[in-house]
Chain A
Amino acid sequence: MSNPPRILIVEDSPTMRQLLVFALKRLKNVDIVEAQDGMDGLRKVSSDHFDLALIDINMPVMDGLKLISLIRSEENLKEMPIVVITTEGAKEDRERALALGAQEYLTKPVQANRVLAVARSLLKLE
């Protein structure tokens, strides 16, 4: 794993992006990159290395589920941990995202400390 850990946030809402950045900055020495939709996220994840991706489902241009399936189809991105953060709370949505290859599924409104705990665990930080 590269040092410092790099996190990609793919979220169309600037409010949510700022909140997630605010929470993740509590992890010392991490590099956070933002993407405003699925296509932007795909561009960034294809051209750069990330240790973790937080992805929303409902986004313009390309939704989060499509992005996850494209990420998992890339050989070099198969192992990158993915956390879904979404308003979709239905069991089927959760199962679908996990089946596509997400490691965690968090529903909004999300607690900052829950995001932190999940990020710490997936990045294997103390």
Chain B
Amino acid sequence: MSEDRSKIFARADEVLNLFKRGAEFTKELIQENERLRRSLVDIEMRQTFAAQDPDQWDKLREELLQRIKSLEAERQSSLERLRTLEEENRQFATRHVEIEEENNILANLYVASFQLHSTLDLSEVVKVVMEIVINLVGAETLAIYLMDEKTNSLQAVASEGMNLSSFPPVALRSGVIGGAVALGQTVCAEGSGDHSVNSPLVCIPLRVQDRPIGAIAIYKLLQQKESFAPLDHELFTLLGGHAATAIFSARLYSQSERKRNTIQGVIDLLTNKPGQR
């Protein structure tokens, strides 16, 4: 029973508190209403007073004009700041695109260089060169020529898009390919069109210092590749140097392996250990 009574009292207290908070809120509202009324009356009085007194009217008008001017200046300044921010944003966006482009170029160059020097097997090096020209440059028809020092001519050793037999040997200094290799200058004919085996679209001479090693000749680009990008020219330069050294190193390694095997064979023969190395 006493528990019920205390519950009722507690509930009554809650209701009372609710009424008190309501009364306080109503009081605050009345006070706010009163303040606004006074403010309105004050403005009306100022306007009436100003309407009667031209000086006051001018003063009020001047004040309002000053306020408008100040707001206009504020708006101009905000617009100027917005323009500056937009310009900065544009510059950042452009820079971002440039950095992405540079990043793409560096990634391609890194991968090309890494792959070229990942093997000492000549056929593997040639395969890597083919992969780079097909996948990274976007060539459809190409041939790789290597220098035959005995005949002083360039022999096609690998091709894509056409049979290897379609690419005849080229004498050094002869034609576009022979000339590019002799001079050490990349030939790049911008734009597409028909390119015969003697007149490639691009010819990249492969040289180690002044020694001619071979050439990469591109005859046709993939249909989706419309023109050369800055990356392609970077790749041509990289291939001209790194493919040449990779081929040169692979050839030297192959020769040294052959010599080592011969010498080992002689040693085994002299020491009566046939078949041992």
Contact = CB atoms under 8 A, between A and B. Distances in A.
How big is the B interface, by class?
Answer: 20 to 34
Contacts of A19: 107-108, 111, 135-136
Contacts of A60: none
B144 to A, nearest CB: 15
B157 interface: no
Contact of A16 (B135, B223, B224, B225): B135
A23 B107 contact: yes
A23 B107 CA distance: 8
A65 B185 CA distance: 41
A18 B135 CA distance: 12
Interface string A92-113: 0000000000000001110111
Contacts, number: 60
A16 B134 CA distance: 10
Interface string B213-234: 0000000001111000001000
Nearest to A106: B224
B104 interface: yes
B103 interface: yes
Interface of B: 100, 103-104, 107-108, 110-112, 114-115, 118, 128, 131-132, 134-138, 140, 222-225, 231
Given A19-B135, A89-B224, 5 more contacts: A13-B135, A14-B118, A15-B115, A87-B222, A112-B107
17 contacts: A14-B118, A15-B111, A15-B112, A15-B132, A15-B136, A18-B111, A19-B108, A19-B111, A22-B110, A22-B111, A89-B225, A107-B222, A107-B224, A108-B138, A109-B138, A109-B225, A112-B100
